[in-house]
Amino acid sequence: MVVLGAGPAGLVLANLLHRAGIDCVVLERADRARLHSRARAGFLAENTVRILDRHGLADGLRRHGRPHATCEFRTDDGSFRLDYARLARGERHTVYPQQYLVADLLTAFLDAGGQIRFGTEALRVLDADGDRPTVEARGPDGEPLRWRARYVAGCDGRHGAARRSLPPGTVVHRHDHGLSWLGLLVEAPPSLDAVGYAVHERGFAGHMARTSDITRYYLQCERGTAPEDWGEDRVWHELDLRMRAAEHGPLHRGSVVARTVVDLESDVVEPLRHGSLLLAGDAASMPTPSAAKGANLAVLEAELLAAALVDELAHGDGRALADYSRRCLEHIWRAMEFSHWMVRLLHAAPTPQGVPSGFDAGLRRARLEALRTSRAQQDWFAENYVGL
């Protein structure tokens, strides 16, 4: 078994296969130090924590993760909070930065004798329609490498070798929301004890705690913006304005240590199985970061895929593997629907003229007011915000 990519999907899958006695190797383009430092999302749903617990992979997040269950919306019509752990199924998030989870999963896999080839870039998957596909790769020194296996799991993202190797006729549903965020990692303690969503005429702003001294902020920006266009003075001016610091109190300031621009795009591959090539994580689908679904989908898909592969390879039962794509896509489309709803809740819809639509603004105000006042709407939000 060859697993492409050492993110949450690939590493959960590799750990579960290795523990079941199935020989596998993980190919990862980055080195180990880069994986330990690569900042990503950090909100783990309760189902994700249950999966990791079930397989003995949750020690780090149990020790260092922080429970979180509140979000605050700041709008022109005032602010309100939702304690979503008191709504719907009573579930909450655990805040645990993804690079910490990846470090835990790497350590667990390597300590158990698992094989990871760091600095190895998978280039293509050949003969995926047969029963012995080949992975062609490039090693750390540029040397050509090849692996043959019964199955290849593509967990290497939307631009990886697995997606590049999909056969003709594969359907990839794509949607460009026409919006962009400037993502900021700031060396400063959180300014709110909640996830902050600010809806402002100048654009969306978001506040998400990562650790006691690191905070993630987002600022809606124009498509095509370069991260370096935003100096610290401009960043803090816009954050203060959009987060309404004059009304709610000053933000804790610190150095901006990372800037990235994220274009809000979504895609879904159908199906997720192509002969001996199987997709999981961001290779299977890419939701926007608006609802923090990516890593949670990745862990769920990895558990489903691992169980199906164990049934097939260890017990000769291929039914779960035949049903893998359908089961995952049910979860993926539900997560996509809620992520899309969140995009429309937090942003003015782009128009060809660049002028916000009054009709769209009215719909957005109505959505926020329903979320503020309707218990039924709050329960729906809580169930979908934390669930998959």
Distance from C-alpha of 18 to C-alpha of 194, rounded to nearest angstrom = 38
Neighbours of 260 (CB within 10 A): 11
Residues of the chain scoring pLDDT < 50? none
Q: DSSP assignment, residue 76? A: T
Report the amino acid identity of residue 164: R
Task: Choose the catalytic residue: 293, 331, 340, 347.
Answer: 293
Task: Choose the catalytic residue: 197, 217, 218, 324.
Answer: 197
Longest distance between any two alpha carbons in the chain, whole Å: 64
Q: Is residue 192 within a helix (H) or strand (E), and if so which, with residue range? A: none
Name 4's bridge partners.
27, 154
Q: Is residue 61 within a helix (H) or strand (E), and if so which, with residue range? A: helix 59-64
Task: Choose the catalytic residue: 97, 133, 287, 289.
Answer: 289
Residue 316 Cα distances to 187, 309, 313, angstroms:
52, 9, 6
Residue 188 Cα distances to 74, 244, 354, angstroms:
21, 18, 34
Which residues, 6+ apart, have CB-to-CB distance to 315 below 8 Å? none
pLDDT of residue 263: 96
φ, ψ (nearest 5 deg) of residue 79: -120, 155
Q: pLDDT tens across 66-88, in order? A: 999 999 999 999 999 999 999 99
Note if 324 is an active site residue.
no
Task: Choose the catalytic residue: 18, 68, 331, 340.
Answer: 68
Residue 332 Cα distances to 170, 173, 266, 300, 338, angstroms:
17, 12, 11, 10, 10
List the structure tokens of 245.
């610091």
| Domains by residue range for the chain, with CATH | 2-67+95-174+266-340 (3.50.50.60)
Q: pLDDT tens across 278-291, in order? A: 999 999 999 999 99
Distance from C-alpha of 74 to C-alpha of 59, rounded to nearest angstrom = 35
Q: What is this structure's pTM? A: 0.95
Task: Choose the catalytic residue: 217, 218, 324, 385.
Answer: 385
Note if 197 is an active site residue.
yes
pLDDT of residue 109: 98
Q: DSSP letters along 127-156, please? A: -TTSSS-EEEEE-TTS-EEEEE-S-EEE-S
Distance from C-alpha of 49 to C-alpha of 61, rounded to nearest angstrom = 8
pLDDT of residue 353: 61
pLDDT of residue 348: 82
Q: pLDDT tens across 198-215, in order? A: 999 999 999 998 888 999
